[in-house]
C-alpha cells in the first residue's frame, strides 16, 4: 500500500485557534469522510454565502457530490472555489462554568474548485460511489440511472488536497477556582449515531425481504 502524504496546511486550512487540536494524518481525514453521512457545501451566490447539506462519497483523493442541474448551489459550485465541511459530534462537555461548556468532535474542512464530470463512465462511477457510501450494498440490486435521470444530474469531483482536520477529546477545561469551589457536576455526555430497525415502504409488495446489507447496519442492543 502506498503511504499517504500528510495534510499540508495552506493559507485557508491553517488553524488559528486551538492549533493543538489539528491533525495532519491523512488517514484521519479519510476515516472521518468514510464514516460521515452528510457534508455541508458552502458556495457564494450573488455575493452572499449559502451552505447546503449534501450527500457525498469518497474514492481515494476525490470527493464526489451530485445534485440537480437546476440547483443554484450546484451551478455556483462551478463558478469558483467551494468549502465543504463534515462534522461528527462525539459528546457534550459539561463544565463548571458557562463559558467552558464545549463539545468533543471530529471535523474536516475542504477547500477547492470542483470539476464537472462529463464522461459517462466517470459520472456513473461517481454516482455509484455516492450511493454505496450512503447505502452500502445497494447499487447492484436496484435499477441504475436512466439517460433522462443522468441528463438532469450534475456530478462534481472535488480534490482532497487542501483540507484540514480538527479533533477535540477529553473532559472540561475548568478554571482552578471553579474546580476548588466544588458542588457542580462536570464531565462528558457521549453521543453516537445508530440505525434503528428498518421501516418498509407502505407500497412494498408482500414477501420482499429486507436486504442483509440494510439489516447489517441496525444497532445491536442488549438489555
34-92 pLDDT, tens per residue? 999 999 999 999 999 999 999 999 999 999 999 999 999 999 999 999 999 999 999 99
Q: Cell numbers for 214, please give them.
A: 440494510
State the total domains in the chain: 1
| Position 3 in a domain | no
Other CB atoms within a 10 A radius of the CB of residue 54 amount to 19
Average pLDDT value over all residues in the chain: 93
**Domain that residue 102 falls in:** 19-215
Tens digits of residue pLDDT in 87-143: 999 999 999 999 999 999 999 999 999 999 999 999 999 999 999 999 999 999 999
In a domain, 24, yes or no: yes
Within-domain flag for 10: no
Closest CA to 164 of 6, 1, 4: 6
Residue 11 located in a structural domain: no
Cell of 65: 457530490
What was the pLDDT predicted at 167?
A: 95
Task: Report which secondary-structure segment, H or E, holds 75.
Answer: helix 72-77
Residues 64 and 128 sit within 8 Å (Cβ to Cβ): no
Task: State the sign of the Cα–Cα–Cα–Cα dihedral 109, 112, 116, 117.
Answer: negative
Length of the chain: 223
Q: Is residue 77 part of a domain?
A: yes
Assess if residue 138 is contained within a domain: yes
CATH code: domain of residue 82: 2.30.110.10
User: Has residue 223 been placed in a domain?
Assistant: no
Phi-psi category of residue 129: left, alpha or beta, with phi > 0 → left and psi -120 to 50 → alpha = alpha
DSSP 8-state symbol, 144? P
pLDDT tens per residue, range 143-159? 999 999 999 999 999 99
Please check whether residue 9 lies inside any domain of the structure. no
213 three-class SS = helix
The angle formed by the CA atoms of residues 30, 139 and 132, to the nearest 5 degrees, is 15
Amino acid at each position: 500500500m502506498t503511504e499517504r502524504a500528510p495534510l499540508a496546511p495552506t493559507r485557508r486550512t491553517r488553524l488559528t485557534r486551538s492549533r493543538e487540536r489539528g491533525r495532519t494524518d491523512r488517514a484521519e481525514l479519510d476515516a472521518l469522510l468514510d464514516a460521515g453521512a452528510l457534508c455541508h457545501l458552502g458556495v457564494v451566490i450573488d455575493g452572499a454565502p449559502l451552505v447546503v447539506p449534501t450527500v457525498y462519497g469518497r474514492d481515494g483523493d476525490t470527493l464526489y457530490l451530485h445534485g440537480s442541474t437546476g440547483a443554484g448551489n450546484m451551478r455556483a459550485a462551478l463558478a469558483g472555489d467551494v468549502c465543504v465541511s463534515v462534522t461528527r459530534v462525539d459528546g457534550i462537555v459539561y463544565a463548571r462554568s458557562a463559558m467552558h461548556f464545549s463539545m468533543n468532535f471530529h471535523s474536516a474542512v475542504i477547500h477547492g474548485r470542483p470539476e464537472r464530470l462529463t464522461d459517462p463512465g466517470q459520472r456513473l462511477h461517481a454516482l455509484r460511489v455516492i450511493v454505496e457510501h450512503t447505502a452500502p450494498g445497494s447499487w447492484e440490486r436496484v435499477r441504475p440511472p436512466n439517460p433522462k435521470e443522468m441528463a438532469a444530474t450534475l456530478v462534481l469531483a472535488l480534490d482532497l488536497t487542501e483540507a484540514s482536520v480538527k479533533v477535540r477529546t477529553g473532559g472540561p477545561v475548568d478554571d482552578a477556582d471553579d474546580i476548588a469551589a466544588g458542588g457542580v457536576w462536570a464531565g462528558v455526555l457521549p453521543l453516537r449515531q445508530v440505525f434503528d430497525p428498518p421501516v418498509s415502504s407502505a407500497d412494498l409488495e408482500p414477501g420482499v425481504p429486507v436486504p442483509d446489507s440494510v439489516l447489517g447496519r441496525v444497532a445491536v442492543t442488549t438489555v
